[in-house]
Chains A and B, each alone.
Chain A
């Protein structure tokens, strides 16, 4: 699929988006960013969608028998097996002669960057017709806020306590987007629920590409982050504006920055309003900024913008 044909995809906006709900009646916390990512994507993907979710918050809040929260076909998979089970769904439906449908995964950061990475790599390698969406709330939330491979430096989690000796998480986030792109996947993108139109566009684009596609969407979690329930969208936007989260695409072998601000908003402000970063010293924050600048220098040097 060339960029030209992608441009011809009818735009989906809040104005023309379906009023149908495909994910409701679930038990996510108030202000849950992950549930926003699922809800919006399903509105874009529509009725002819098979949805697979590994163990994690969205699975836990959506399928409590007998109260099923998905209006489309959906199932929970094992924690490591979402990509392969989704691949199987796509292969089975195709073998049965079904046409014009999409298979989508919604997996957390842990389910994607840690335990599910192997299966995801296989899915991309086979170029199975699956859209994999990782909603990133930067920790294993469903099990009570433990550190994952996408938990950023400094974060307080229940397995990376912040004390005198160790100030929370000691490692940086894995470069998930680049790990995925390194497979030479047809299409990969990063997004944030704080920039919903950008996210919707990317889901819409992936919907129209046959083969494996991937979207990494930043999705706030008031419960795990120690933030008010009414600032989830704001905070996910701020993460992008202060440069800790970037909006980008990878397609046809090229990386592209969708947003390349001349100036970043304050990292310190973004961090200190969240319970999970409150303990961080100025030196810790300086380290976060230095890492951000190093990444941006590299992205600006190597990627299109």
Chain B
């Protein structure tokens, strides 16, 4: 029996240890499930890469905007990943360009400045670029 719904749960870390290792062994021998996992991963990655839209000021308290989401912060990770993708595509082959600077420029186009910790983004991108 194929993995079906469990593939998304597997991708999201929502399977318990037993189910996870069952899924891993099934994936090792089933090209059909591997390609379905690839499809849902791609959709998930695209959604996570969507730029963060900046709300009108009256919707947030302007003085203490510190984070997009307090706990898991996946929007920020997604935005950084989107920026990293752009850097990878646009400047990855040009070793002379200062990547963190490009990233800052790109992030400023898409992400609320007040919400971005520049250090965090540089770390994210370097992690991607170094890979």
Q: Do A and B come from one complex?
A: no
